[in-house]
Structure 1
């Protein structure tokens, strides 16, 4: 018997264990595979490490533009790139495991946890009981039952990280966030890359001009984009794998040496025995929670990707903060207080907060918009990285900031000036009157707010 059981050592579980044990509780943390969850092992840490290597390769290829002359062609040693990624990811994983194992009052078990009842969990031959159980099992790459998908060696966002050689031709099926990061990354490493997307534009949740700008920057680097792929299928080929596209125009199929399937993620809940505990899920297996992350069963919470309330490291960590605040601090915190914010880590990155332009139009609000291309941002011009633009939308009546997008150098950092003001619920003139440091990308945010026009 312990006071709490935490299933999964992702981004929410370990800090919650720290708070609970500091409050005098005994905690059992169960991890069946790798400590640190998706972020540390197959998500943010390894992929952004690879993105960093890819950026260096790209800048080396462009060196002459900056007056820097390199002798001979740029060569990528993928084995060394992978070794660097593995080392950084490995240290993070070891740090999480070491922290948990050294935590007073915390017992770490490695194995597969399955519910036996609403307050008991089996791990191997041992049954643990607790009044509080927290599920933090994350998600994995989805592999839908597409024609031929089982007949070829499909890569996922996890298994592609094991490559120690650059593919000759990587076909990326799925034109959204994960797929596009890998597409640009491997193109910069030297692979031929084709992106196959079922929809009529990339990243369809974004505004159309954002989708178009992302496509432009990828194609400028040599990535081939195939849209409206209405019959995606797979078949073995002598040169690797054939991916059926059947677009309205162009060749009906693409042959690649490797194929990456990046069409979403599914929660790791199918083998937890949730039915024995009575925990409700939706058709995809996502655990149903309220605005404080409680499931329908008293004493059971779900945090991170498995609860469907966010799909990012920052939202998973915020889940921990919400649970801890409500449980330990008497502080009412809610998922509903969270403002949507995320980034697509192409280079340059796309950063987004709040509502898209399309969502604002659908809301019927009277809105104003400020926009500026990166060709008119001094910092971007000086760096030679003028793809993209920055935009901010505000409510014309309340002066509330409704949303913003920055596609350009440093956009993933600059966007926080907007996000913080939105959390402070301050009117947009507060940011408009701020004096930012020059030369930066963020310094143009006040300028945008001084050039607002009606949102058409």
Structure 2
């Protein structure tokens, strides 16, 4: 595909809506690679394939929209960057959401500036989140497998491991993935420039980086992510505590670890470090871990964690914290009884807060949620017309793949006039404990609130042939269907490798498949995924009365 560029002076625009109206005329037009229409500058930049559309056709299209007219071609060449300080798009943040936006902006030949500070480029996921945590979870899992077997003829031995060596291998993996998936990719993005520093809005079109350099942008995307929320507990600021960011940098294994919080981050770390050999206790304020999920889900996981030897104290209030002789002491009240919990290390995993401080959002009157997240609509627009926000800095689902999805969508809405709404109706999620917790769509309580007629099918893994043969029947598969349409509206799964099962229901929801279609699909026998088929059959038949191969 050939690519040429032209910059045109446009008269008649009186507001941002005018620019959007012109851009709308080029949406999906053959030969148009990208267009950027600027009302303040009174011009439009176009990248196009001259074999498909001519410059004259572009001009005629503009002249055919309302009272807008092309006053002439701006003869200065449209370079990679018109200047070193003026950009089509400025992205604040350097994580997965920002990267997705930058990659798509580069494909559209948009001059783009990425401003990153805090974590190295790549953000939370590769540096201190998904990648290191899942590496350590798998390492701890291998210790568990070496030390335990449900088979009477298999006599496991005592596994040996070097925690410091595991951490070093983790660092090497993180460095390699950051280089391969982020730094090297940045080098290939022709239209993207990066600077390191803290950005602050001076007005809706200008930022100041590190208090020194000003940059101007036609559009902005805030993708600054989130960080650990530190609760207001008496004495906490006087003790040494860990977060999910710092615990993965310890070279020595904690002898004992108290985990504050019962969400997915807290639970994943708690189980992994228990398997590494730490004495672990979870302190949870609510009555259940994973309190956002139905009781049957959280209770099932809690039972298996306790059976492994992990302490869970729920329904607690923490009165104060102090540190004496190298030990952190928590004074708590649980079920009306006071007690003191002592450990060598304390992990705070009580949720996250959006990174919005010091961005100068008050200077541009940007609206925030009560939680402190940047408020966005379904188009990812903020209250400031030319500024969008994506990823964990918003209150949208806080998953790396959701953030990446938002990144591309925001650029399309900002520059292509796409008017695409975010759609999380088929968003899967996984808690990487063992057994794993996975879900998508609605549970039955959510369906009831929305007035959707529903029915559930709950299949214990003790009815799944693969689980029976593996002597591991921990968990269940629960499917939710709309009784009027016979279509899936949600699922909750507790199972070893449950995360590998949830995509089936995700696709079924997205593609509008019926329960009958899944129930009559051929599944390989003695696979865990066959449990999805059996659970679908369970809407109409009693699985307990079927033979292994019956359908």
Q: Normalised by the size of structure 1, how large is the TM-score?
A: 0.94
- When residues 420 and 235 of structure 1 are mapped into structure 2, their CA distance, relative to the original with a 3 A threshold, is same
Contact 1:380 1:409 in 2 (8 A): no
Per the alignment, residue 352 of structure 1 pairs with 439
Shift of 1:66: 7.0
Show CA shifts across 1:236-294 (max 9, x none): 13251011221127761210111111110001111111112222212332101110111
Note if 1:208 corresponds to 2:295: yes
1:158 alignment partner, SS class: coil
Please say which of residues 365-374 and 62-71 is displaced more in the overlay: 62-71
Contact 1:101 1:107 in 2 (8 A): no
Note if 1:28 corresponds to 2:113: yes
Q: Among 234, 238, 247, which residue is 1:147 paired with?
A: 234
Note if 1:99 corresponds to 2:174: no
Per the alignment, residue 231 of structure 1 pairs with 318
Note if 1:334 corresponds to 2:421: yes
- When residues 446 and 92 of structure 1 are mapped into structure 2, their CA distance, relative to the original with a 3 A threshold, is same
Q: List alignment gaps of at least 5 residues for structure 2.
A: 1-85, 542-551
1:47 alignment partner, SS class: helix
Please say which of residues 167-176 and 62-71 is displaced more in the overlay: 62-71
Per the alignment, residue 123 of structure 1 pairs with 209
Provide the C-alpha distance between the structure 2 equivalents of 1:396 and 1:437, rounded to a whole number of angstroms: 28
Show CA shifts across 1:368-416 (max 9, x none): 2111112222222333432111110111122121211111122101111
Contact 2:98 2:223 in 1 (8 A): yes
Provide the C-alpha distance between the structure 2 equivalents of 1:282 and 1:23, rounded to a whole number of angstroms: 32
Q: How many residues align?
A: 453
Q: How does 1:352-391 map to 2 (within 5 A)?
A: 352-391=439-478
CA RMSD of aligned residues (A): 1.9
Show CA shifts across 1:410-452 (max 9, x none): 2101111101110112322221221122222221212212222
Q: Normalised by the size of structure 2, how large is the TM-score?
A: 0.79
Show CA shifts across 1:181-202 (max 9, x none): 1110011001111111111111
Shift of 1:327: 4.1
Note if 1:47 corresponds to 2:139: no
- When residues 253 and 31 of structure 1 are mapped into structure 2, their CA distance, relative to the original with a 3 A threshold, is same
Per the alignment, residue 526 of structure 2 pairs with 439
Shift of 1:37: 1.1
Contact 1:45 1:89 in 2 (8 A): yes
Contact 2:262 2:284 in 1 (8 A): yes
Note if 1:409 corresponds to 2:496: yes
- When residues 87 and 109 of structure 1 are mapped into structure 2, their CA distance, relative to the original with a 3 A threshold, is same
Structure with max Cα Rg: 2
- When residues 115 and 46 of structure 1 are mapped into structure 2, their CA distance, relative to the original with a 3 A threshold, is same
Per the alignment, residue 266 of structure 2 pairs with 179
2:96 alignment partner, SS class: coil
Show CA shifts across 1:119-146 (max 9, x none): 1111132111010111111000111221
Contact 1:370 1:392 in 2 (8 A): yes
Per the alignment, residue 91 of structure 2 pairs with 6
Provide the C-alpha distance between the structure 1 equivalents of 2:359 and 2:161, rounded to a whole number of angstroms: 42
